[in-house]
Amino acid sequence: MSRVIDTDVLVIGSGPGGATTAALLAEAGQDVLLVEEGGRFHVDSAPDHSLEQMDEKWRSGGLTAALGKPKITYIEGRCVGGASETNAGLYHPPFPEVLQRWAGEYGIEEMGPDALAPWLEEVERDIGVSRRPDGPGPASEALARGAEAMGWRHTEIQRFWRYVQREDGSWGGQRRSMTETMIPRALAAGCRLMSDTRVDRLDLDDRTARSARAWTREEGREIAVQIRFKRVWVCAGAVQTPRLLRKSGWTARIGNTLTMNPMIRLAAQFPDAVNVPALGVPVVQIEEFKPEMTLGCSYSAVPHLAMWLDGSAAERKAMLQEWERMAVFYVKVSGKGRGSVRTWPVFDEALVRQPVTAEDLAGLGEGLCRLSQALFAAGAEVVHNPLVGGDVLTESGHAERFRGALTPANISVSAIHLHSTCPMGERPDHSATDSFGCLRDADNVYINDSSLLPASPGVNPQGTIMAIARRNVARSLGSST
C-alpha cells in the first residue's frame, strides 16, 4: 500500500532549472512539492573534487558514460541542488548570435538576445556573480599570457560565488549553489521538499498527467509513494528528464537529439609554480574561437594531474614531484553529433549513446594544437601529450602533431554539459515542447532544464538555463518581466 501525497504543482529535480521553477511558483502562491532523487547535503559537506563529494552528489559516483566510439564520460548531479552543488559555478551569458540562431532555426518565441536579457539580469541579481578579488591565480595568468602572445582574446569568467576576506587578508569563498539561493527561497515561500525520492513513472489519463509513482527512503527503507498533482514540471536534466518521459509513454521527439561538448585535457609544466589547488577551478578562458571552441584551465590537484600524465606508475610518481609547476588545461568543442537517451531494459537506468563525429575529432585536434601553442608562448617547458602513445611536446612546433591525428582509438573524451533531449520551439518535426516548455503531447506537463536547449550554447549553460526557466514560469503565470 503506497502513501498518497497531494499537491497542486509537482517539480521533479532540484538543479538550477528545478530550484528556480519551485521558488518562483511558490512565491506566486502556488502549492509546490519539490522532489529530488538524491540526498540533501550542505554545499561544503565534502571537499571539492574529492571521492567523498563524488559519492554524495554525483550519479554513480561520477562513473557514467555515453556509449560510442570513443565512449564519452560525463557527470550528472544527483543531490538537492543538482550539479550546482559541485560545479565551478562559471557564468558566461549566451552569445547573442546563438540566441538569434535558435530563435530563427527552431522557431522559438521570445528567444532573441533582447528578449532574454531581462531574465539574465534577474539571474545575476538574485544568485550573484563576481570575479576573484585577489586575481585569477597563476594557472589562469599563464593561459592569459599565452593568449596575449598569440594575439587571441581571453577573459576571466565570472562565477556564481561569494568571496569574503579573512582576518589574515586572504580571500575565501562559497559557491552560490541552489541550496544557498533558490531552494531556501522556495522553502521560505512554503514549498515542500522531498529528497531521496525517485519518481519512477507519470500516470496518464489521455493527454493529462494525474499522478507520479515514486519511491522514497525513510529510516533506511524504501516506501512507495503516489503523488497526485494538477501540473508537473520535469526538471531532472538532459538524461533523466527524457528517460522519465519515455518510460511514462511520451516518446515523440524526446531523447533523440542529445548534444554534448566533447572535451580533452592535457597537463603542462612551467619553470615556476602555477598550481594552487586552494584557488579551485581556474577561471580564464580563451575567447577567440568561441562558441565553437573553448580553451581553458582545469582543476589540477595531484590526483587529477596524475590522470593526464603518460608513462608507468613509477614514472608518473616521479613527475608528480614537480606538481606545483604543473597544471591541467582543456579544449572543448561544441559537439556536432546527436545522441539518444533510452532505458536499459534490465537495470531501469538511462542508456545514453553519443557519437563523436569526424568534425568533432578535427576540432579537438585543432584545439589541442592551439592550446599547446598558447602554453608554450606562456613559457611552458613541457606539454604532455594526451593521445595514447603520443610523444611529449617540448617546443611549440610540436603542436602541429595534433592536427588530423585524433582517432577514436587514441583519445579519452569527457563532457560536462549535456543538452537538447527535449528541445523547445515551434517546429513540430523537431520540438518536444512549445517555446515555453509545455510538452506538445500533454496538457499539464512542462519541462524546465537543459534538455530544452535546442543545441549547444557553446558556453557554460547554467545561467542560460536559469534565465529560460524564469521566462517559462512567468509565461505559465501569465506575466512577463
Task: Give the DSSP letter of residue 388.
Answer: T
Strand partners, 341: 352
What distance in Å separates the CA atoms of residue 254 and residue 210, rounded to the nearest whole number? 20
Q: Are 23 and 30 contacting, i.e. CB atoms less than 8 angstroms apart? A: no
CA 424/CA 109 separation, integer angstroms? 10
Burial class (CB within 10 angstroms; exposed 0-12, middle 13-18, buried 19+) of 173: middle
Q: Which residues of 89-120 are buried (b: 16+ CB within 10 A; e: fewer)?
A: bbbbbbbeebbebbbeebbbebbbbebbeebb
E-assigned strands of 7-117? 9-12, 32-35, 64-66, 72-74, 90-91
- Alpha carbons 369 and 150: distance in angstroms, whole number: 13
CA angle 216, 219, 220 (to 5 degrees): 75
Place of cell 538524491: 38
- What residues act catalytically? 417
